[in-house]
Every structure is written in structure tokens, then in C-alpha cells.
Amino acid sequence: MDLLLSFVTLAASIICFLLFCHTWLKSGVHRSKNPPVPEASGSLPIIGHLHLLASSDQAPHKLFGSMADKFGPIFTIKLGVYRALVVNNADMAKECLTTNDRVFAGRPKIMASELMAYNYASLALAPYGPYWREMRKIVVLELASQHRVQVLEHIRVSEVKSFVANMYENWVKNRGSSETIKVDMTQLFANLNLNMTLRMAFGDGFSRGDKQKEDEVKNTIKRIVELFGAFVPSDAIPALRWLDIGGYEKEMKKLAKVLDDIIEGWLQDHKKKMSSTTQHIDEGENQVFMAALLSRVQEAFKENIHGFSIDAMVKATCVAVVVAAMDTTTATLIWTLALLVNNPNVLKKAQEELENHVGKDRMVEESDLNNLVYLQAIIKESMRLYPALPLSVPHESTEDCIIGGYTVPKGTRLFVNFWKIQHDPEIWEDPFEFKPERFLTGEKEIDVKGHNFELIPFGSGRRICLGLSVAMKAMQLILASLIHAYDFQNPSSEKIDMTGSFGATNHKANPLELLVAPRLSPDCMPLVCKV
């Protein structure tokens, strides 16, 4: 009896202590008179709301949009053992990414970042802290600056010219008696952006002479991009990691090794050039991102720091640039061209603008882009309707904060629903209609640089995409050159299907196959066409 009484007393003491702690923690919330954010209904033990995401026929951003109509503009869900805040309107997004920008500058830890981003050495995925702040200063200088955009111009121009030239050669070889040929623009855009991004990041070490090596590089990067957007069960329920459900850990380790071997070779080539008295790389106009980054990191750190080697810092950041730029730029170009073909009057107006400012006796140059205001409006409207990342890359709060009058505890993950915000009828007239003209009139001053929360496809605040300037310049040059040099038609009499795919990146579900015919004479095409 004494033993039983002692056990009951101990158990009661523990329960009382836990109840006291729970009451004390709740009182800490209510002392500030701020209740917790409302939680969406439907959560199950352990898995939380994961079953809703798995069973829905809607992509996550659209599902969250529907939930916002029911639960309000901000609500929480449980992704396995983690709580996430979902923000669905511009005001709440602004509050998260301005007033509480520092608080939400964290990143959650996921398997892909650990295994394929050099154990969180990538700036895009590194936790908020001293390492991230120091690396961000360097990357802002070497990627986001106007100087870097200008330095990389020759790569963008040469790749776009080759792209236009190859399309013309293909047309000559395959047109037969027809004036048009059918082209898979999805595949062409993907190859163009990968070639351009690899050259910008690593230089001409990416050789196209070895077809087998080229295919290995491209296939490895494409699969890594897919895995960064995949749902890994252990990211939601860490206890499952030892099971490696789906084989993600095994595949990520294998791909990371393959990619590291490739990138290590390019890094050593740049080191040799930098140490050579005859091929010293300085601030010259042809310096690519890896070389510039390596020089800056060596100068800033001198030695390994924050648990990362200098080589890991450089390689991880370059991989992040390639992964981010390739997938999102490709998706945006595909959506934009599909919208233009579905709206031939808009395409015609864009081509007329090009004829007015460029003419039909030469190719588009980057110096022409500032004059192409209608083309810029088209791209902004496409990014509004079909943001490449419809949900923000997840943030994580590093301390308690207040959002919309609610208490958000430390460790909460944040998803900003760009898609829902950019289709908000209280902000946008006819939000689901393609109207580039809106950016020439009432919404003329709205840009995509993270200051106007009605349109934030690149994010905002400390974690804004630093490749914004380079990406916008590349997309404008590609699209302008393409619709200036070619006419496009839908092979079907029906409208192009604009259904999106499931995944972190909002890709068009079906390939974009179009009928293509040149608009310019052969004399205006790049010289490579005539070889």
C-alpha cells in the first residue's frame, strides 16, 4: 500500500507540474492579450493536416487559398510534428516580411538542404545567423548588383543568339512544304536556361563537346531540382528518417556525390586560373560567378569559418543559384508564351512594340529592353497569374512574435501564398484575366522587387531572391528575342491548356508544343545560322 501510495503521489505531482507549466505558458500568451492564430480544422494525431494535402486534387497553393476563404487570411496547419503559419493576403505578408522580417529570417531544416546543399552551407537555405549575414553581403555584391548583371551580359546575349539560331536551322531542315514546324518549347526553354545558368555560374568549363558529360550534368541538376520540391516524409515526422520511405536519402546522397565531383573540377580549374601569372582572374569583364565568389570568400574569411570550408561555401552557393534560376525562369517563360498564344492580340501588340523600337533588320539587344514597356507589363502579368513559386520557400520564426493581433510562437514555419495574394479581388480587378495593360495604367508603379506586397513572386525582406535582377534581365531578353524573330500558333483550334502541375515550382502540366515560323529574314538571324 505504501508503494502504491507513493506511486500515486508521484504521478499526481507530475500531472500537477505539467498542468502548471501548461497554464503558465498559456498565461504568458494571454498576458500580452494576443490569442494564438486559429488552426484549420481536420488535423489528425501525428500527421496533422498532411492527409488533406495528400488527398486533395488541388495544388497546395490553391488548397490553402480555399482554406483561407473558410478560416480567414491567416491560419495554422500542422505538417506532421511542425506547426506552419499560412498567410494569404498582402497586409499580413507585409507584416511578416517587414515588421517581423528578422524573426522570420530562419529556415527549417530539411533533408535536401542537409544532403544536397553541403549541410546548410547554401545561402538560400542556411539558418539565420552570423554565417548567413556574412555570406549574404558577399552574394549581394556578386549576384544582385547592377555591375554583376552587366558583367554577365555577354553570356546571356550569346546563349540567346544560339537559341534563336538553332530554332532557325531546325525550321530550315524540317519545314518541308510548310511554312511552320512544330516545336516543343518546354524542352527548348529548359535547355536554354540550363546552358545559360551553368555558364553564368561556372564559366565555359561547362563544355558541350562531350555529349555524355553534358547529359550527365543536366540530368543530375534536373533531378536535384525535382528532389528539392519533393515531399520527404521525414521532413514532417523526423522519427521516420531511419526508414528512408521512398528512398529519398539514398538518392540524394548519390546525386550529391555526382554533382560534387563535377563542381569540384570546375572549382579547381578556377583556382588554377586565379593562381596563374598568365591567366590571373581579376575584376575583368568576363569573370563568372564562381570565380568572383571564390575571390570574395577567400578575402573575407581567409580560412574555414562557422563549420564550413571555403570550398563548401562556394560550391553550395553556386548550386543554389543554378537550382533556383533554372527551374523558375523556365516555368515563367513557358507560362508567358502560352498566355501570348492564347491571346494573339497581346502578342501582336508586343511584336508591334518591338518593330517600333528595334525594327525588323536586326536582333534585339539588351540596350533595347528599357524601351519595351509593354513587354515588361506582359512578364509582370504572367508572374502575377502564374508565379513560378506559388508558395514562398518556407521561413521559420526564431522567436515569438505578433502577426495580425495573434501570437506566433518560436519555431513556427511560414508559407506566404503568393498565388492567393496575386489573385485577390480586393486588390486586382478581374484577377483571373490576363491584362498586361493594368501595369501601364492603375498598377503602373507596382514592381516585383519586394516592395509592393500585391505582387511578390520573388519574395521580400531578408530572404528575397537575390537573383531577381539577373532573372528579369534574362527573361526579358529571351522573350523579346523570341517573339521578335518568330511567330507562334497553337496547333489546335482549342485554347492551350493552362493546367498547372503539382510541386514546389508551378510548371505547366503539359508540354508547350507550338507551330513556329520566322518573322525576320535570314540576313537578320545570328551568323551561326548561316554556317
C-alpha to C-alpha distance for 390 and 458, rounded to whole angstroms? 10
Query: Measured in whole angstroms, how far is the alpha carbon of residue 521 from the centre of its chain?
Result: 37
Phi and psi for 224 in degrees, rounded to 5?
-65, -40
Rounded Cα gap, residues 341 and 496, in angstroms: 8
Q: How far apart are the first and last CA of the chain?
A: 99
Q: Is the CB of residue 42 less than 8 Å from the CB of residue 8?
A: no
Please state the separation of Cα 340 from the chain's center in Å.
23
- Rounded Cα distance between 514 and 176, Å, is 17
Q: Which position has the grid cell 524573426?
A: 103
Which pLDDT belongs to residue 277? Answer: 53
CA distances from 386 to 74, 225, 334, 349, 503 (A): 22, 19, 10, 21, 13
Structure pTM?
0.90
Question: Would you state the cell numbers that stand for residue 330, as one nine-digit string?
Answer: 523556365
141 pLDDT tier (thresholds 50, 70, 90): confident
* pLDDT tens digits for range 172-219: 999 888 899 999 999 999 999 989 999 999 887 665 556 777 788 888
Q: What percent of the chain has pLDDT over 90?
A: 68
Tell whether the model's pLDDT for residue 416 goes beyond 90. yes
- Please tell me whether residue 77 adopts helix, strand or coil conformation: strand
pLDDT above 70 as % of the chain: 90
Q: Where are the alpha helices (DSSP H) in 152-242?
A: 153-174, 185-202, 211-228, 233-236
**What confidence tens digit (pLDDT) does each residue in 232-259 have?**
999 999 999 999 999 999 999 999 999 9
Please give the CATH topology (third level) of the domain spanning 32-530: Cytochrome p450 (1.10.630)
The CA distance from 38 to 168, in Å, is 57
Among the listed residues 104, 105, 68, the one whose alpha carbon sits nearest the alpha carbon of residue 86: 68
